[in-house]
Amino acid sequence: MFDFLIDGFGVALTPLNLGLAFLGAMLGTLFGALPGIGPINGIAILMPLAYTLGLPAESALILLAGIYTGSEYGGRMSSILLNVPGDAGAVMTTLDGYPMAKKGLAGPALGLSAVSSFVGATIAIIGLTLFAPLLARVAVMFGPAEFFALMVFAFASMAVMMGKDPIKTGIGAVLGVMIAMVGVDSGTGVLRYTFGMAELYDGIDFVVMIIGLFAISEILLMLEHANRPSNESDEMPPLGRVMVSLKEVLHCKWTMLRCGLIGFIVGVLPGTGASVAGAVAYTTEKRISDKDGTFGTGNMRGLAAPESANNAAAAGSFVPMLTLGIPGSGTTAVLLGALMLYNITPGPLLFTERPEVAGGLIASLYVGNIMLLALNLPLAGVFARVLTIPRWVLVPAIAILAFIGVYQLHSDLMAIYLMLIIGVFGYLLRKLGFSLAPVILGYVLGGLMEDNLRRALSISGGDTGILWQSGISLGLWIAAAALLILPWLVPKLLPSNSTEKNKQGA
Partner 1 sequence: MRINTAIRYVSGITVLGSALLMGQVQANEDTECIAPAKPGGGYDLTCRLAANALLETGLIDKPMMVSYMPGGIGAVAYNHVIGVRNDDPNLIVAASTGAAVNLALGKFGQYDADEVRWLGALGADYGAIVVNDDAPWQNLDQLMEDLQTQPGEIVFGAGGTVGSQDWMKAALTAKAVDISPRDLRYVAFEGGGESLAALLGDHIQVFTGDMSELRPHLESGTVRVLASLSEERLGGPYADIPTAAEQGYDVQWPIWRGYYMGPDVSDEAYQAWVDKLETLSEEEAFAELRDARGLFPMSRFGDDFDGYVKDQVTQFKQLAEEVGLTQ
Among 347, 475, 487, 491, which residue interacts with partner 1 (rule: CB under 8 A)?
347
Q: How far is CA 146 from CA 273, 466, 470, 473, in A?
A: 16, 9, 8, 5
CA-CA distance, 170 to 156, in Å (whole number)?
A: 12
CA-CA distance, 188 to 198, in Å (whole number)?
A: 17
Q: What is the dihedral of CA 251, 255, 258, 264, to 10 degrees?
A: -120
Is 184 a binding residue for partner 1 by CB under 8 A? The answer is yes
CA-CA distance, 233 to 229, in Å (whole number)?
A: 11
Is 346 a binding residue for partner 1 by CB under 8 A? The answer is yes
Residue 160 or 344: which CB sits closer to partner 1?
A: 344
Shortest separation between residue 15's beta carbon and partner 1, angstroms: 20
Residue (of 267, 46, 229) closest to 135 by Cα position: 267
Is 203 a binding residue for partner 1 by CB under 8 A? The answer is yes
Helices (H) and strands (E) counted in the chain, each on its own, are: 23, 2
Residue 88 or 259: which CB sits closer to partner 1?
A: 88
Is 355 a binding residue for partner 1 by CB under 8 A? The answer is no
Residue 289 or 470: which CB sits closer to partner 1?
A: 470
Is 159 a binding residue for partner 1 by CB under 8 A? The answer is no
CA-CA distance, 426 to 330, in Å (whole number)?
A: 26
Residue 256 or 415: which CB sits closer to partner 1?
A: 415
Among 345, 388, 497, 498, which residue interacts with partner 1 (rule: CB under 8 A)?
345
Is 32 a binding residue for partner 1 by CB under 8 A? The answer is no
Q: Could you say which DSSP state residue 236 is in?
A: P
Q: Which stretch binds partner 1 (CB under 8 A): 224-232, 243-251, 276-284, 332-340?
A: 332-340
How many residues bind partner 1 (CB under 8 A)? The answer is 66
Residue 458 or 498: which CB sits closer to partner 1?
A: 458
Is 415 a binding residue for partner 1 by CB under 8 A? The answer is no
CA-CA distance, 158 to 173, in Å (whole number)?
A: 9
How far does CA 77 lie from the centroid of its chain? 13
Among 141, 226, 484, 490, which residue interacts with partner 1 (rule: CB under 8 A)?
141
Q: Which stretch binds partner 1 (CB under 8 A): 103-111, 116-124, 133-141, 438-446?
A: 133-141
Shortest separation between residue 361's beta carbon and partner 1, angstroms: 16
Asked if 405 and 415 touch (Cβ cutoff 8 Å), the reply is no
Residues 358-387 that bind partner 1 (CB under 8 A): 378-379, 382
Residue (of 294, 324, 276) closest to 446 by Cα position: 276
Residues 207-266 that bind partner 1 (CB under 8 A): none
CA-CA distance, 186 to 27, in Å (whole number)?
A: 35
Burial 81-92 (b: 16+ CB within 10 A, else e): bbbbbbbbbbbb
Asked if 54 and 65 touch (Cβ cutoff 8 Å), the reply is no
Is 349 a binding residue for partner 1 by CB under 8 A? The answer is yes
Q: Output the 3-class SS for 87-146.
A: CHHHCCHHHHHHHHHHCCCHHHHHHHHHHHHHHHHHHHHHHHHHHHHHHHHHHCCCCHHH
CA-CA distance, 472 to 235, in Å (whole number)?
A: 49
Each residue 446-485 as x (binds partner 1 by CB under 8 A) or -, in order, gives -----x---x--xx-x------------------------
Shortest separation between residue 189's beta carbon and partner 1, angstroms: 4
Residue (of 117, 446, 62, 49) closest to 307 by Cα position: 117
Residue 185 or 234: which CB sits closer to partner 1?
A: 185
Is 56 a binding residue for partner 1 by CB under 8 A? The answer is no
Is 498 a binding residue for partner 1 by CB under 8 A? The answer is no
Shortest separation between residue 458's beta carbon and partner 1, angstroms: 5
Among 1, 52, 291, 465, which residue interacts with partner 1 (rule: CB under 8 A)?
52
Q: Which stretch binds partner 1 (CB under 8 A): 84-92, 127-135, 219-227, 403-411?
A: 403-411
Query: How many degrees, rounded to 5, is the angle at CA 68 between CA 139 and CA 388?
Result: 130
Q: Which stretch binds partner 1 (CB under 8 A): 114-122, 208-216, 345-353, 487-495?
A: 345-353
Shortest separation between residue 215's beta carbon and partner 1, angstroms: 17
Each residue 307-326 as x (binds partner 1 by CB under 8 A) or -, in order, gives -------------x---xxx
Residue 436 or 456: which CB sits closer to partner 1?
A: 456
Q: Tell me how long the chain is.
A: 506
Rg for the chain, CA atoms, rounded = 22
Asked if 190 and 450 touch (Cβ cutoff 8 Å), the reply is no
Q: Where are the beta strands (DSSP E) in 174-300?
A: 183-184, 191-192
Shortest separation between residue 469's beta carbon and partner 1, angstroms: 11
Q: Using CB under 8 A, list all residues that contact partner 1.
A: 26-27, 30, 34, 37, 40, 44-45, 48-49, 51-52, 139-145, 183-189, 191, 198-199, 201-203, 270-271, 320, 324-327, 330, 333-334, 336-337, 340-341, 343, 345-349, 378-379, 382, 404, 407-408, 410-412, 451, 455, 458-459, 461
